[in-house]
Amino acid sequence: MLEIIYQFISQNVLLPITTLLLPVDYQAQALTVLQTVVKILSILVPVLLTVAYFTYFERKVIGFIQGRIGPNRVGFFGFSLWGLGQPIADAVKLIVKEIIVPTGSNRALFIMAPILSLAPSLAAWAVIPFDDTKVLANINAGLLYVLALTSLAVYGVIIAGWASNSKYAFLGAMRSAAQIVAYEIAMGFALVGVLVAAGSLNLGDIVNSQSGSVIHWFWIPLFPLFVIYFISGLAETNRAPFDVAEGESEIVAGFHVEYGGMAFSVFFMAEYANMILIAVLSALMFCGGWLSPFQGIPGLEDLFSWVPPMFWLLAKTSFFMFLFLWFRATFPRYRYDQIMRLGWKVFIPITIVWLVVVSALVVTNTPPWFN
């Protein structure tokens, strides 16, 4: 389906544009560029729509968990439609609001900070494979690229905290910096475990090396790393119970306390885009990505063979996204010293020990994963 639409756009929109507007020498190159832009848009537009509706589902899910209804008023054309128009209304409200730059703030950095926090989380989608063939940039060092880009998100937070020239914002930025550096190490070691198990840094190869059945997925041999990766992802995205960088009850809203309107909403979008990214990476690296959960089961495998592989990836991603919301509604916020202790004294030793275990499993060709 998606291929057909892409081919249609490529043939009927992009090809006429390049042939009509450009000299013959540059047509082929321009067509490639335009095709890439269409591919990028076909990833980013759904991601941003998901971000918008993820905020709606967060309010609905947490409302359900807490015995409330959640947003149910804003709809379309006079129909309330369970409040489905809420994200659109929020976006319109935030766009028309004024962006206030505080006096004494560093204007250039103040404006740059939200962009710096959103850009890496969108750029990381370049290497995410949606099935065996659908990937924008099939690069060798995909895993490293993702790790490098997720570690950059902290700059938006730090620069926002410093440029705001506000004590609360600065405290939030300091907390966030220390927390992200601590959890990045655990996250990196968890990814080294995936690398050892898969024998490749390419995300597509990592998924393909998990094929077989549900028990072939890496969540069993790498179970401690799987748990640590997801919890570190929670900490890296500054989500509850690790949201001390925002800490509404202590430091008002932390690093983005001085931001309003669209500048604030870009931070908001960055947080949600990062959550979706962590969810899709957990699905890819530990839960078999686009592989069907019925693979290897005689009757069911054929019964579900019509389902496109991308559906399984999106279903797994949705489950991890739901976990983010579930955790937020369930756990109280960690105290700061407990966060540091968990990161440095619990997670890092466990990951190092489990790396040795995984290496031993790989070297001894332990079935069913590494034979």
Partner 1 sequence: MIEQIVFYLFSGILLLSATMVVVMRNPIHSALFLVLSFFASAAIWLLLQAEFLAIALVLVYVGAVMVLFLFVVMMLDINLVTVREGFARFLPVGITVAVLMIAAMGLVVGSDYFLSDTYMAIKSVGSDYSNTKELGLTLYTQYLYQFEIAGAILLVAIIAAISLSMSKSKVNKSISPEDQVFVKKADRLRIVKMQSESNTKNGESEA
Q: How many other CB atoms are found less than 10 A from the CB of residue 49? A: 11
Segment near partner 1 (CB under 8 A), from 52-60, 134-142, 227-235, 259-267?
A: 134-142
Please select the residue that binds partner 1; options are 174, 227, 323, 329, rule is CB under 8 A.
174
Do 280 and 324 meet the contact criterion of CB atoms below 8 Å apart? no
Please select the residue that binds partner 1; options are 178, 262, 329, 361, rule is CB under 8 A.
178
For partner 1, what does the binding mask look like between residues 218 and 257, x meaning CB under 8 A? ----------------------------------------
Do 350 and 228 meet the contact criterion of CB atoms below 8 Å apart? yes
Segment near partner 1 (CB under 8 A), from 38-46, 129-137, 238-246, 335-343?
A: 335-343
End-to-end CA distance of the chain: 36
Please select the residue that binds partner 1; options are 42, 151, 208, 318, rule is CB under 8 A.
151
Please select the residue that binds partner 1; options are 95, 181, 215, 307, rule is CB under 8 A.
181
Please select the residue that binds partner 1; options are 39, 252, 341, 370, rule is CB under 8 A.
341
Cα–Cα–Cα angle for 253, 259, 261, rounded to 5 degrees: 120
Asked if 177 interacts with partner 1 (CB under 8 A), we say yes
Asked if 37 interacts with partner 1 (CB under 8 A), we say no
Do 334 and 241 meet the contact criterion of CB atoms below 8 Å apart? yes
Tell me how far apart the alpha carbons of residues 301 and 214 are, in angstroms, rounded to a whole number: 12
Do 222 and 361 meet the contact criterion of CB atoms below 8 Å apart? no
Do 162 and 248 meet the contact criterion of CB atoms below 8 Å apart? no
Residue 84 or 152 with smaller CB distance to partner 1: 152
Do 18 and 30 meet the contact criterion of CB atoms below 8 Å apart? yes
Tell me how far apart the alpha carbons of residues 284 and 277 are, in angstroms, rounded to a whole number: 10
For partner 1, what does the binding mask look like between residues 41 and 80, x meaning CB under 8 A? ----------------------------------------
Tokens at 317, concatenated: 């991603």
Tell me which residues touch partner 1 (CB under 8 A): 109, 139-141, 144-145, 147-148, 151-152, 154-155, 158-159, 162, 170, 173-174, 177-178, 180-181, 184, 188, 201, 337-338, 341
